[in-house]
C-alpha cells in the first residue's frame, strides 16, 4: 500500500486532483478525506 498526501490552500484543486486519480484508475486509488476522520472533542 502507498499513501499519497495532497496539500494546498482552500480552492487550490486538491479534491479535483484526487478524484481525477480515482477516475483514471479506480482499482488502485481511494480517497480518504481528513474531514471524514475528525471527531467531536466536546
**In residues, how long is the chain?**
42
Is 34 inside any structural domain?
no
> Based on the structure, what is the number of domains in the chain?
1
| Domain coverage including residue 14 | 1-25
Confidence (pTM): 0.64
C-alpha 37: how far from its chain's center? 12
- Selection from 27, 24, 32, 25 nearest residue 3 by Cα: 32
Rounded distance between C-alpha atoms, residue 7 and residue 18, angstroms: 11
Is 38 inside any structural domain?
no
Q: What is the pLDDT of residue 36?
A: 67
Q: What is the pLDDT of residues 1-42, one digit of tens each?
A: 788 888 888 889 998 999 998 999 999 888 888 776 666 666
Q: What is the pLDDT of residue 3?
A: 86
Is 32 inside any structural domain?
no
Rounded distance between C-alpha atoms, residue 15 and residue 27, angstroms: 18
Is 16 inside any structural domain?
yes
C-alpha 8: how far from its chain's center? 12
Is 39 inside any structural domain?
no
Q: What is the pLDDT of residue 1?
A: 79
Is 12 inside any structural domain?
yes
Rounded distance between C-alpha atoms, residue 19 and residue 31, angstroms: 7
Amino acid at each position: 500500500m502507498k499513501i499519497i498526501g495532497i496539500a494546498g490552500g482552500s480552492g487550490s484543486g486538491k479534491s479535483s486532483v484526487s478524484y481525477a486519480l480515482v477516475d483514471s484508475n479506480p482499482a488502485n486509488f481511494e480517497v480518504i478525506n481528513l474531514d471524514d476522520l475528525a471527531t467531536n472533542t466536546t
